[in-house]
Amino acid sequence: MVFGDIYLQEHRDWVERVCDKLGIRAIEPLWGMKPESVFIDFLKAGFNAVIVCVNPKFVDRRWVGRQLDMDFLNYLKENEIDPCGENGEYHTLVTNGPLFGKSIKILESRSVEINNYWFLDILEYELI
């Protein structure tokens, strides 16, 4: 099974332990890479992602629903936040990329607060 962990050893240990129990191998292709490089390489490779959750202790709720882009990376750097949200500062939904046969177009959404986190509630979408 493939995971996107970059440097959190305790999470890697958990992933490997669970995979061992299931008899499958944990693959961590991003392990040890620099988070800023991962972010930039993701965009350069032609992927698109929308920010679907933020922990408002770190990331302002105004980012919910926006595309992952260089403006967001600059915001993260200015606020000393891990560029890939490795500590749970934010989460994304990949909506398009070179590996996908179709892309997800979000037609209607809203931001909602649940348990002190802000989420993107996707109300309507289409596959293109």
68 with 88, same domain: the answer is yes
Query: Could you tell me if 39 and 29 lie in one domain?
Result: no
**Same domain membership, residue 68 and residue 114:** yes
Same domain as 56, residue 24: no
Q: Where are the alpha helices (DSSP H) in 1-128?
A: 9-22, 35-44, 70-78
- 20 and 51 inside one domain: no
For residues 72 and 121, state if they share a domain: yes
Place 10 in a pLDDT band, splitting at 50, 70 and 90: very high
- Label residue 47 by pLDDT band (50, 70, 90): very high
Tracing tokens 């105004």 back to the chain, one arrives at 62
Q: Determine the structural domain holding residue 65 and report its residue range.
A: 34-127
Same-domain check for residues 7 and 38: no
Same domain, 25 and 73: no
128: closest CA among 100, 108, 105? 105
From residue 57, give the alpha-carbon distance in Å to each of 54, 99, 118, 126, 127.
9, 34, 11, 32, 33
pLDDT in tens, 85-116: 999 999 999 999 999 999 999 999 999 999 99
* Domain identity same for 92 and 43: yes
Q: Which tokens in the block code for residue 52?
A: 């679907």
